[in-house]
Amino acid sequence: MKNSLIAVFLFLSASAFAQSRFSKGEFSINGFRAPSIGLEYRYRNISIHGGYYITALESGVTTKFIKAGLTGWFLPLGKRENPSSFYVGASYLRGINLDYDNQNAFGLEAGFRWVIWKGLNLRIGAIALMAKDHDVEINPTPGISYSFFFQ
């Protein structure tokens, strides 16, 4: 897990200096699982986020977390001013119910954000959820958000 964390942060650091077509800044209101139900701020191709994260680690059971982390954006696609792109991220999660109640966890996430129209975005990805005394859980992370861009 330590090597995974180091690799993600090295990638995020390197991508911060990469030339890209991303806007200078973006503020997003996220309405579902990716990255969380909450807020996100992006500067060029690095963002921070925080919010409420829910997932179904077993059928019919909702596990809840508070989640905060960093995301790196890369490979912008299309000719739009605010392009769709791929992302990878690392997050700290704090369980608030069930088997993860009051436990720390770490998440590694990867996926794609599709900018549908102006600020409306859809995301699809996956997260590897890691916590002490738990198996690694891999789950899908769909999301919907609205972004406000500024140059």
CA distances for 42 relative to 27, 47, 69, 73, 97, angstroms: 6, 4, 12, 9, 30
CA distances for 29 relative to 5, 26, 61, 143, 151, angstroms: 26, 10, 26, 11, 18
Per cent of the chain over pLDDT 70 is: 87
pLDDT exceeds cutoff 60 at 17: no
Q: What is the mean pLDDT of residues 134-140?
A: 96
Which of these, 25, 123, 21, lies nearest to 80 by C-alpha position?
Answer: 21
User: What DSSP state is assigned to residue 98?
Assistant: G
A 10 A CB-CB count for 130 gives 18
Which of these, 29, 15, 35, lies nearest to 107 by C-alpha position?
Answer: 35
pLDDT of residue 13: 54
- What domains, with CATH codes, occur in the chain? 2-150 (2.40.160.20)
Instruction: Give the global pTM.
Output: 0.84
pLDDT exceeds cutoff 80 at 151: no
pLDDT of residue 1: 65
pLDDT exceeds cutoff 80 at 3: no
Which residues are CB-neighbours of 45 under 8 A, at least 6 positions away?
Answer: 15, 16, 18, 20, 22, 72, 73, 74, 85
